[in-house]
Each structure stands twice: as structure tokens, then as C-alpha cells.
Structure 1
Amino acid sequence: MSSDYSRLIFDRKKHYSAVRMQQGRVLLDSDWNAQSDINQDRLHKQTIDVIGRTGVPVHSNGFQLFLHTDSELSLSQGRMYVNGLLCELDQNVNFGFNNEGILIASNEVDLPYGLIRTNMTSGRYLLYLEAWQREVTFLDDPHIREKALGDPDTTTRLQTTWQLKAASIDAGIQCEDIQIPSNNIGTKATGTMEARTVSSETNTDPCSFNQTSGFRRLENQLYRIEIQKGGNLSQSTFKWSRENASVVSQVMEITGSHVVKVNSLGRDEVLGFSIGDWVEFKNHKTSLGRTVNKLVQIEDINRNTLEISVNEAIDALDIQGLKMIRWEQAGESIPLNSNFIQIEDGIEVNFSGGIYVAGDYWLIPARTIDSSIEWPMGERKLPNGVDVSLAKIGIIEVEDGEIQSISDCRKLFPPLTELPKSDGGCCTYHVSAKAGWERIFDKIKEGEHAKICFDIGIYNLESTIIIKNKGHLLITGSGPGTIIQASKLQVAFRFDGCASLDISHMSFQTNQVKNQNKDDVVSRKGALTVVNTPKLSINKIQVSCGHGIKPQASCITYYNAQQNPGSIHVANCNLNVGFYQHGIVVVNSKRSVVENNVISVRPKPKKYSLLDRIKNDNRTRNAFLDILMSNISETHNSNTNETINYGNFNLSFRTNSDIRNANVWQPLITNNPPPNTITNTKDLQKYLKKTVLNLVLVKDSSVPSLNRFVASLSEEDPSLGFQALVIGGEVSTDVHVFRNRIEGFLQGIHIGLSHQHSSGKEFDIINSVKIEKNFVGNILPLIHNYSRHGIFVGNCERLLIDSNELDLNRTTRANKVHIDAIKIWGFLGRKGTITNNYIFSSSRPENSYNTGIKVKDLEYKEKVIHWNITWNSILAKTKLQLIGTFFDKYSDTNI
């Protein structure tokens, strides 16, 4: 939108640094605006010189792409600098592939969000940011006006605006290969315009200020020449306004197909709307999409109702932010021409060959005092237009409408005080995100100690890096902006046989779960996998790992042989776990410390929907069939609730109550009669399971109640992690799990040694386990493949479980599915304390855990075990279930 200026006089070529006010002089809008433009120009140049053309502050980490669903993206909140402009996003925003061809504004903020491309079924796409500044008046933001002074029209604002767009790219192209602007991204106008004044002998108006030459109007004007239709010289047209297109009214209502009601008809007859004027309608979509609407002509004005009729239908326009702008030309628009075209009263313009963009414009200040225009004689100028700046955000791969991978193209930078030392500093090797970076590990000799420092950047990885038999390694990045991008891999780094490993301040992003190699001792490989390394320290890293139908992967895996157990310390990490996968897997670690981490679950892709898992995974299929048919018997008993008859056969079983109430089974047999080959109840049982499975998978409509039941199960099929933390194997002496936040898992914390010795009488036992001040959020759907609990500890000599919160989110159909909050099981020692824990369900308090605390000692002992289970707050169907010989009164201090 344009405003009522006298002129805009800033000129970069003059290199002015300030505007000085003199005493007793007139203060002009052009001087005020010149100072503002000087400041902005300096700020933009300085930002580019310090940061570069584009950059994201590493601690802000704004505008990062990540998956929201299989066909939706999210953009992270934060900041990004684009060619000196500060782009900000105040909250994470989700994007779908809209079909309107422009970006849609969010309900939460006023900036345009969305994806520009309408069809992303398959292929690779560059997502990039367009940033520019747009002018905002009181018609866009009423808060600009001061009510105390009667709402005068005073100043306007410049707002930094951005949009996320997409462009198709070829296979194999990476972020560093793409240059913008390019032929298809960010093309700008090349056509120029010249303006001049000429004499006229035809003007006989006695009110004209000068009847012979130059500009001849009585008022000073600021002419705006704006491209209406873009293209080459022969294709383009323009429109013009002597008031810089500042004669504008807000549309309050569209009262008819050709009629609008406005807030004002203008200040007066000169600065208002009249019959015969050509007007343009602009709203938020045209403004943010930088598009131009067709001009229409005013046919009638009702000054009593402030209604204006135009010559074409406008009722399809979006009323949000709708405004009407007056233009002065005699027709709808004027074709461009290389010959001079008369505007009015002595002003002429012509255009060169080249490309013109709709919305680009030129300003011509015209002054009556000397009949001149402020335009150097004979000079041609490119249009002002909207100065759009561009920045790469990321590359996505799409297959059949689902996003397969995301590569980050942003450039992150740390604060000046956190810049790495030059020339490598104390680093043995310094790594930057250039092609071949992964070969840095080949430089480290066998047994050599080394510190490897990674700069900010995206480190794309096509195959797993295997680092074997090195010495003590310290690997550090520059924070979350050091990203190991391995979207086609399950394992990014694998360390094997190193003396020790300390890794920190990095991000790892993997997105695949592969079939396990039976010859590999590591069965649950992580994005970061460390094998047979005596000491492992992990601090301040972010890891995102892939999805799978069954547990096969993790974010972090630490494995040692039983003969040489190691030690692990994981702290201050953020792990984003794929569907049905693990957060941290530890096998054979004498000392394990896991503290102050956040372990959560990623949204699962569409291909892991319930129906797809029933079709492709035996374990899920059997779990689903067990809901329909379990406790099968030839006669009705207390464990069955359904009986069906076929010929001489009766079959009793337990089925889901909704299925039973809907009377599904007998009509199913009637509509799908079994073949004559069935000779016993076992054959009948197999036939029924096969039949109902086929009906479900093809969504057969003959049993609608069955389809409704399956649809409701699909609606309650959350994105679910398997185990957030599992510590097991054959050896463990000391485990401490402290101040972690775990959300969205079937099993939260699982600690226990399971190996049984050849004698059959001896079991591996952990010496000491401490689990303190953690939050564990369990999710429990009806269909599940594995056991479930909040905290599990098995085979432990000394135990402390203190001040933890366990919160259950049970889906509505999983009311009867059993889950324990705290479960202690196996061969237990003489000392245990379970105290000050809070066990509850914030989502469904009436359906919390089945058992709050369950302890079972499998070994009989003549002497009592000194265990203290007190001061717990338990919301569960059964608060305590204790099997064994224990000491203390358990119920008095647990509520």
C-alpha cells in the first residue's frame, strides 16, 4: 500500500549518514523519511557485512523445517536474517500443501504462512524464504491512530514480511548447488522508464499556472507510474496516480455483486471518489501475495449510504483487509511504449525493452514553482517495486504425497563471543560443512587421541561413518546448528573399539529403520551407535531417529561385551524418537548415568497407520484379532461373552464389548458362509479370523458396525514410542536416572538384567538403581504389541525410586488394558525405597494406571526384606500390590 508523501529523496549514491534539523525551519515529511531510510540502509548493510546474506542465530534456531505429519511440515519459531532484513516467527507453524497458489495468513499472527506450490505429489523441492518490507497504514492497523486526538491520519509503518515458497529441483541437487536468485527463482524487472516535461500550445485553460512549457498544474504532486500487467514491452500495461495512489477507502461491506460500502468517500472533491474513476481493490491476499487485481470503473455513488457501484462483479473478493484505491488514467490501463506517452499537464514517460513486473512503480515529484519534475534529464531508471530478498530453507523429497526426507539449507551462526578459535585452536582437526568432510576421521591413526571440532553447518551424509580402534576422542560441534543430516540412514556415526568418546553440542537427524543384520551383535542400532568403548560421555546433543512397525532402532545405542562392560553418561540432550522405537539403549554398562534429558516421540507418517500395520505386521495383526476373538472355547464360560453357531459347531470366545453390542458375528457368518471343508471348531476359528481380517482391510461395507469400530480405533491410534530408556544386558553395577522428561511411550524407564546362568539358579543382579525426579508420560492405546509400564526395575540389590511423576494418557477404548505405573520384579535385595512419587492421569483421572506400585520378589527369603514404600500419591485402581516378605506399613502413608 502507498501513502501520501510529498516525495522520497533518499539516494544511496550520495552516502549521507544523517539529516540535521536547523532552528526555526520547516519540518518536512521528506526529511523525516530520509533519516529513516539512511538508518535502514546502514542497518541492512551492517547486518549483511557481519552475518552475510542469510543467517540464523544458532540459539534461536528459527525457520527449521521438520515433519508435522507425513504430508505436513512445521516451521520452527525463531529469527532469520535475509539480506539484512530480520524475519521473525513467534511460534511453530504447521504447513499443508494448499491449492490456492498463494500463502494463507495464520490465525495467530499477521504474517503469511503456507506453501506456494499446489502439487507436490512426487519429486524434490527447494523451500525458500521471500522477504520484503510492505507499508502499513491505519487502514491495516487501526492502533496507529491516536484516539485522544480524534483519530487523525498521521504516520505509516514499514513491516518486514516473509513467505515460504517451493520450487522443483532435479534429483541429486544439494543445498550448496543452488544459487538464488536464478532463472526460475527471484527474477526481477529489467525494463526502465524515462520521464520529462514538454511544452504545449494547445492548453487554453485560464486557470493553468503555466500555459507554455513544463509541469502546468496548480498543485505540487507526486506521480506514481505503476505496472498493471507484467511481461515484455509489448505485453505490459501501466496505470498512474497524481497522489501516489494514496486516495484510499476501506471497504466495510460488499452489499451487492457490483456494490461496496466504504468507510469514506474521501477528504474532499479533489481527494475523493467520483463517478467515472478507475479503482483497484486490494486485500490481504493481493498485498501479501504481491498480485494485482483488474481495475474497475465507478458507475454510481450513494453519498448517503457511502455505497459505490462499479462496472464489474466484485462479490467474490475476500473482505479481509479489503481497500479501494483511486487511479487517474482515462481508461482501464495504458500499453507501454518506447515512444513518449503523455500523462497529464506536460508530463511524459517512455519505456525501454525488457521485462516488467506487475506492481513495480516509479515516483515522479512535480513542482509548480518552476514547472519542473525531479527527474534527471535523459536518465532511465529501473522501477522501485518491492525489493524481495531470498534465502534457502531446506530441500524436501516427496513420494506419493508423503515427505520422505528433509535437508536443512539454513546457515547458522553463533554469537561473536562463542565463535570457534581460528586456525583450529586447541582442536586436533577442524571440520567445516564442505564436500568430503567425512574423510576427516580417516586422518586419525589407530589408537590416536584427537579432538575434532565441527563448525556450524549442514553435514549431509549418504552412508554411515564407522570410526574403529581410535584412542580417546573428543568430538564437539558448535551447538544445534552443527547438523549431521543422514535422512536415508538409520546410523549416522558408529564408533567401535575406541578408548573413550566424548561427544557434545551437535544434532543428528536420521529417518530410516533398516532390517537388522543377524551377524551384528547390536540389535537396536541408534543414530549414534557406540560399541565396545569403555567410556562414553554425551552432552547437549539433539537426535531425531526414524519410524518402524516394530522396535528396531534408537536415538542412542551403547553396547559392550559382557567381558568388558563400560560406563555411560548422557546429559542435557533432546531426543526425538520415531514411531515404536527407543530413545536410549544401553547394554552392559557398569555405571550408567542419564540425567536432565528430554525424550519425546515424533509424529508418525501415514504409512504407519493402524490399517497399514495390521496388513503388514504379524504382531499388530494378532493383537487386533485378539481384541475380536480371545479365550476361544467350544462351550460358554466366565471368560467368554459371545457364542456363535454354524451347523453342528458352537464357538465361544471373548470379543470387544462394542463388537458384541453391535451384533457383528452372527450376521458376518450368515453373509459369509464358511465352506464345506470346515470339519471342526479350529477350522471355523481360522476361517472367521481370516474373513474378518479381509473385510477390515478392504473396508467392506457389508458390516458397517465393524468398519465404524475400526475407524474409531484408527482415530485413537497415537504416535507412540516403545521404550524411552532401556538399560540391560548381563552386567550393571550402578544406574542413576535423574531429572529426565519422557513423553509418549508405552514403556518409560526399563532397567533390568535378564541373563540366566547355565546352572539355572543364578541370575545377574544390578547392585544399585536410583530413579529420581523424572517425569514419565505413558500413552496406552487399545492395540498394543508389548508389555507396558511407567518405570520397571528387575533383579536389583538396592533400589531408590523417589519424587517421580507418572502420568498416563489412556485412549478411551483402552479402559480395560492393564498397565502398571511402577513395577519391581525379579530377584530383589534387602534394601529398597519407593517414596514421594506422584502417580496419576491428567487426561482421564478416572482411568489411571491399574496398579500404582507393584513389587514381586521371586526368591523366597526366611528373613524380612527391609523396604520402605511411603509417602506416595497414587491414583490407580490398585495402589499397592506386594508379593514377598517386606518390612513396613505400606498403606498408611500412601494416598
Structure 2
Amino acid sequence: MKGDFSRVSFNAEHGFTRVNAQQGRMQLDADANEQQAINLQLVRTLAADLIGPHGGLPGSFQIEADAGLYRGFRIRPGRYYVDGWPAWNRAVVGYSGGKDLRAQPWYPAPPEIEEGQAYLVYLEVWERHVSAAEFDRARDPHASDAMREVALDGPDTASRAQLVWQVKARSLDTFEPSPDGADDPWATALEQIAPGMRGTLKAKAAEPPAAGGPPCEVSPRARFRGDSDQLYRVEIRRGGPASAKEGGATFVWSRDNGAVTFPVDKIAGPKVQLAAGWRDARFAIAPGDIVEVAGPAEALQETSARLLRVMDYDPDSATVTLEATPEVDTDDPRRPVLLRRWDHGALRGPTQDRPKLADDNALQLVEGRWLTLEEGIQVMFGDGGLQDGDNLPPRAEMEMVRKDAIEETGDRLPTKAREELGRADRLEKGDRLGRGRQIYRQGDYWQIPSRIALSDVLGPRDAAGAPLPRPPDGVERHYAPLALIRVAGDGSVTVERDLRREFRPLTETAR
């Protein structure tokens, strides 16, 4: 979530059931947001416990062949729950539209399916942040459900979270053989769609005292040196394994959680005219900054917008001149385009331990060493993965874990449980991508609050005060199988197996 937040305080392990406001106290955004997160966690957990890893009312998200669609199929309306998250399709849509059918609302241009291929069709559900700049730009300014209050004459207020669902198709030819040889296309697919080792990161600003040394002997520069509290965001730009060579995983970072965005009015070559300038100096755009100009496809993480450096800014016309022309269209007012600033373009302070600029204008992701962002803040990727020589659980032990889990749940493992079992399988056999190697996923992110009062960042620590590695804070994605299909040589589609699970309302089963 790329909102302008102070921090995200929700942690399911605490077991909190509500937030209690007290009289005479300051009201913080983190408290209000935590209450909503608590409510969502309770509702989603209850739904997952009652329904299982996935299921829906009869016909919901059913995949249907349509003779009038070339290399396509229909998706029936309804609600389908994935790990307790409700995907809601409000009308019959086509996989990619066509024949008077609308395309998927959050996946309008999926990859084409090919003749002569068999596919696994599955549902992916996740949550994205939506600001007024994105939502209201595509709507009538007189709409009563606009996010921005026009009476305020410009400033926005609260943002929204939106549940996104996308029906995707994956060729069965791309699957690796199942580790145990079982004929379960979904279990095999899930291990590859949602790898268990998505990377870890730890962050620090203040150095803990050296072991055995004086407890107060700390370098004066080993602390957060910023002049305001921030919520730093580190986000994976290009997925894959870490590599010191070109083509490996890359990342970007923002000191404002990626929330510095501007609606775009027009693009003419490298010149980008903004709908308005900024009202706060900390949200300014300056030559040397690195920005992205993103449309709906990038917002839905179908692809990454190109990162471009700012060459000039004209405040009179609110026009930003970039080093190249952005590859996005602004002609359709229903498809809002935003310019987003990242903060790795303008270096501040010494360059020692700075990450290197990659070929995509992001930063090279290297593991196992501290990388300096700014103001004393450092991050390290990948310190939580297994290394050669680590003890791995034997096959017999892993099979016992699998057997116990299946007996307990009736072979209805939720997505996260399947991810962990798949991860253990890959580790046990050494993993075809490298033993213990972490595969970073595009769009995953970590949030790092910095606080002047501590001269440090907030985050998990061990007993000695050293930072601990942690998995990404998001994006949390959930998956469910829908169908196995086959595409004939003439482009027609046959549904060979329905993989959904259906249930009826309690009022019907009680009759």
C-alpha cells in the first residue's frame, strides 16, 4: 500500500481484538488503520475456517466454453472465496473480452492462450492501494461517490484499499514434474506460481554495541540522521534471483512509502504535463530525480513502467521534462496516468556502500551486505535464506509433516500451508534454482519506519539488539484453481475439468 502513512502497526500475532480510543489523546492514522486490519483479519480467518482454502456459491467463477470466442472462454458471475478473501465478479466476462463480452475489470489484456495447448485456469486475489488521484481521475467530477471532497478545493483525505481478482491461464507444458510424482496439476502449479522463498530484508540505522565492548561506544554516524519521521519503502522492481550482473533482481526505494504521485494531463514526447503542482515542498520534483509514469496496467502490476530521470521542471506550466518519452497513453480519460517519484535518483551524503544503478534505472539487488539508502539507513537482503552446509530436514520428516497436515485438514490446505510444504520440498532436494536461493517477486515491498526520537528505524531485533531478517510486508496474494481447459487447433476451448469447490447457503441445506 503506497499511501501517506506514518507506519503500519498491525501484527496478527498480538491477538488484539480492537483498538480503544482514550479521551484527551492524540489520534494517529496507524491506530485507525490497525482497527480496520483487525476487523479484516477476523472476518477473513472466519471465512477461511468455514469454507476452506477456496470455494463459492454454485456457478461462481465457473469457466465456460463459448463457440463464438476464438481462444477465449467465459467467466460466470458470483463470489468465490480464496483463503477467506471474497472475489466478486458482478457480470459475465470474457477471459480477454470479445463477442459483446466485457473483459476482466482488473486484467483486461491477459496473455493469449495458444492453439493445441492445455491450460490450468486459476484465480489470483490481492489487495491494492487506490488514491484519489487514481480513482477520481477516471470519473465525472460531479460524481457523488468521488473520493476527494471538492469543497476542500484540492487536498485529498483518506485513500482506499481495493480487492483485485484476476483469472489467469498457465500452460501445462510449463510445469516442472511434481516432487512426489503425484498427478496434481494445481499443487505443482502453486509451487511455481507462489514460491515459498520470496526474499528477506533487514534494516538498521543505529549500530548495536560490539560484543564484549563498552555498551556506550557507538560511532556518532551510526544512527538515523534525518530531520523528520519517515516511512521508507523498499520495493522489488524486477523479480528473480539476486545477481551482481545485469538482468538480476532490482529494487527501488522511497522515503514517503511511494506516495509522492501526480496525475498526468498530457504527454508530448519527453514532456509530461501534470494536472497540478505540489502543495508541500517534500513532495517536489527536481532534476536528477527518477520517476515512473504509470497507467492502469502498471497499477495492476501486469508490467513495470519504465523508470526515467528528470531533466527539467517548469513550475509555470507544471511540466516535467524526462530523459525519454514514457511508454503510456493519456488519450483515454477513463484510464488515469500517474507520475510517481522514487528517491534513489538524488544521492545524499557519502556514497560508500551505495547500491549500484541497474540497467532499468532501479538499483542492483545484492545479498549478504549492507546497502546504504540515505541518512544512515541501511538494508540487507537475503540474510534469512538457507546456505550450503545448513542442515535440511530429511525426506521422511517432511513426509510426516505433509501427512499430518493433510489428515488435519482433509487435504484442504490453505495457500500458505502449500507454499511452505512446497518450499521444504525444494530445499530438501537442493532446488533447481540453487540451494537455499531466494527468488524475489516483482511488487513485493518492505516498510521501514524511521524515528528521530530513537535516531533509528523500527523493526524486529534479537536479544542483542541486532536487526532480524523478515519476509515482505506485501503484496499478499492468494490463489485458487478454477479449471483445466484445452485449446483446439481452430481456437475453440474445451473445459476438461472443473476444479472449483461449491457450497450452498445454510438456509438451503437446512431444508
Q: Is the pair's TM-score, using the shorter chain for normalization, greater than 0.5?
A: yes
Of residues 159, 164, 180 in structure 2, which corresponds to 1:161? 164
| Pair 364,419 (structure 1): closer, same or farther in 2 beyond 3 Å | same
Q: What's the secondary structure of 2:321's corresponding residue? A: strand
Residue 210 (structure 2) pairs with residue 195 (structure 1): no
Give the CA deviation at 1:329.
1.0
CA distance in 2, matches of 1:79, 1:117: 24
Deviates more, 1:298-307 or 1:71-80: 71-80
Give the CA deviation at 1:154.
0.8
Give the CA deviation at 1:18.
0.7
Structure 1 contact 291–359 (Cα < 8 Å) conserved: no
Give the CA deviation at 1:351.
1.1
Structure 1 gap ranges (5+): 99-105, 200-209, 422-895
In structure 2, the residue matched to 1:296 is 308
Q: What's the secondary structure of 1:42's corresponding residue? A: helix
Q: Greater CA radius of gyration, 1 or 2?
A: 1
Of residues 372, 394, 397 in structure 1, which corresponds to 2:456? 372
Q: What's the secondary structure of 1:413's corresponding residue? A: coil
CA distance in 1, matches of 2:305, 2:104: 25
- The one-letter code matched in structure 2 to 1:355 is I
In structure 1, the residue matched to 2:126 is 132
Give the CA deviation at 1:11.
0.6
The aligned runs of 1:20-169 (5 Å cut-off) are 20-58=20-58, 61-68=59-66, 69=68, 71=70, 72-96=72-96, 110-113=105-108, 116-142=110-136, 143-169=146-172
Structure 2 gap ranges (5+): 137-145, 208-218, 346-356, 383-436, 462-466
CA distance in 1, matches of 2:164, 2:251: 25
Structure 1 contact 224–242 (Cα < 8 Å) conserved: yes
CA distance in 1, matches of 2:303, 2:197: 15
In structure 1, the residue matched to 2:492 is 403
In structure 2, the residue matched to 1:383 is 472
CA distance in 2, matches of 1:63, 1:118: 19
Residue 366 (structure 2) pairs with residue 354 (structure 1): no
Give the CA deviation at 1:374.
0.5
Residue 270 (structure 2) pairs with residue 258 (structure 1): yes
Structure 1 contact 247–266 (Cα < 8 Å) conserved: no
Residue 291 (structure 2) pairs with residue 279 (structure 1): yes
- The one-letter code matched in structure 2 to 1:219 is S
| Pair 398,185 (structure 1): closer, same or farther in 2 beyond 3 Å | same
Residue 241 (structure 2) pairs with residue 232 (structure 1): yes
In structure 1, the residue matched to 2:257 is 244
Q: What's the secondary structure of 2:341's corresponding residue? A: strand
Structure 2 contact 266–330 (Cα < 8 Å) conserved: no
In structure 1, the residue matched to 2:337 is 322
Give the CA deviation at 1:242.
0.7
- The one-letter code matched in structure 2 to 1:74 is R
Of residues 372, 378, 394 in structure 2, which corresponds to 1:342? 372
CA distance in 1, matches of 2:49, 2:189: 19
Report 1 or 2 for greater relative contact order, CA contacts < 8 Å, sequence distance ≥ 6. 2
Residue 505 (structure 2) pairs with residue 415 (structure 1): yes
| Pair 318,416 (structure 1): closer, same or farther in 2 beyond 3 Å | same
Structure 1 contact 291–358 (Cα < 8 Å) conserved: no
The aligned runs of 1:754-769 (5 Å cut-off) are none
- The one-letter code matched in structure 1 to 2:506 is L
Structure 1 contact 250–263 (Cα < 8 Å) conserved: yes
| Pair 400,389 (structure 1): closer, same or farther in 2 beyond 3 Å | same
**How many positions carry a matched residue from both structures?**
400
Structure 2 contact 252–362 (Cα < 8 Å) conserved: yes
| Pair 118,188 (structure 1): closer, same or farther in 2 beyond 3 Å | farther
CA distance in 2, matches of 1:85, 1:175: 27
CA distance in 2, matches of 1:404, 1:108: 17
| Pair 212,314 (structure 1): closer, same or farther in 2 beyond 3 Å | closer
Give the CA deviation at 1:129.
0.8
Give the CA deviation at 1:117.
3.4
Structure 1 contact 82–131 (Cα < 8 Å) conserved: yes
Give the CA deviation at 1:145.
1.1
Give the CA deviation at 1:181.
5.4
Structure 2 contact 95–104 (Cα < 8 Å) conserved: no
Give the CA deviation at 1:252.
1.1
CA distance in 1, matches of 2:254, 2:493: 50
Give the CA deviation at 1:317.
4.3
- The one-letter code matched in structure 2 to 1:218 is D
The CA deviation string for residues 572-627 of structure 1, in whole angstroms up to 9 with x for no partner, is xxxxxxxxxxxxxxxxxxxxxxxxxxxxxxxxxxxxxxxxxxxxxxxxxxxxxxxx
CA distance in 1, matches of 2:103, 2:115: 29
CA distance in 2, matches of 1:195, 1:293: 27
CA distance in 2, matches of 1:155, 1:20: 21
Quote the sequence identity (%).
30
Give the CA deviation at 1:190.
2.5
CA RMSD of aligned residues (A): 2.7
The aligned runs of 1:592-741 (5 Å cut-off) are none
Give the CA deviation at 1:294.
2.6
| Pair 411,113 (structure 1): closer, same or farther in 2 beyond 3 Å | farther
CA distance in 1, matches of 2:18, 2:113: 49
Structure 1 contact 167–185 (Cα < 8 Å) conserved: no
| Pair 404,144 (structure 1): closer, same or farther in 2 beyond 3 Å | closer
Q: What's the secondary structure of 2:169's corresponding residue? A: strand
- The one-letter code matched in structure 2 to 1:168 is S
In structure 2, the residue matched to 1:6 is 6
Q: What's the secondary structure of 2:300's corresponding residue? A: helix
Tell me the TM-score normalized by structure 1.
Answer: 0.42
CA distance in 2, matches of 1:177, 1:239: 35
| Pair 372,12 (structure 1): closer, same or farther in 2 beyond 3 Å | same
Structure 1 contact 75–94 (Cα < 8 Å) conserved: yes
In structure 2, the residue matched to 1:306 is 318
Give the CA deviation at 1:149.
3.3
Q: What's the secondary structure of 2:306's corresponding residue? A: coil
Give the CA deviation at 1:48.
0.3
- The one-letter code matched in structure 1 to 2:33 is N
CA distance in 2, matches of 1:379, 1:129: 34
CA distance in 2, matches of 1:393, 1:158: 25
Deviates more, 1:295-304 or 1:181-190: 181-190
Give the CA deviation at 1:33.
0.6
Q: What's the secondary structure of 2:299's corresponding residue? A: helix
The CA deviation string for residues 643-684 of structure 1, in whole angstroms up to 9 with x for no partner, is xxxxxxxxxxxxxxxxxxxxxxxxxxxxxxxxxxxxxxxxxx
Structure 1 contact 257–315 (Cα < 8 Å) conserved: no
- The one-letter code matched in structure 2 to 1:267 is R
- The one-letter code matched in structure 1 to 2:2 is S
Structure 1 contact 396–403 (Cα < 8 Å) conserved: no
In structure 2, the residue matched to 1:103 is none
| Pair 324,35 (structure 1): closer, same or farther in 2 beyond 3 Å | same
CA distance in 2, matches of 1:185, 1:420: 39
In structure 1, the residue matched to 2:351 is none
The CA deviation string for residues 191-238 of structure 1, in whole angstroms up to 9 with x for no partner, is 111111146xxxxxxxxxx96441111100111111122211212221
CA distance in 1, matches of 2:102, 2:82: 24
Residue 195 (structure 2) pairs with residue 182 (structure 1): no
The aligned runs of 1:433-832 (5 Å cut-off) are none
Give the CA deviation at 1:336.
2.0
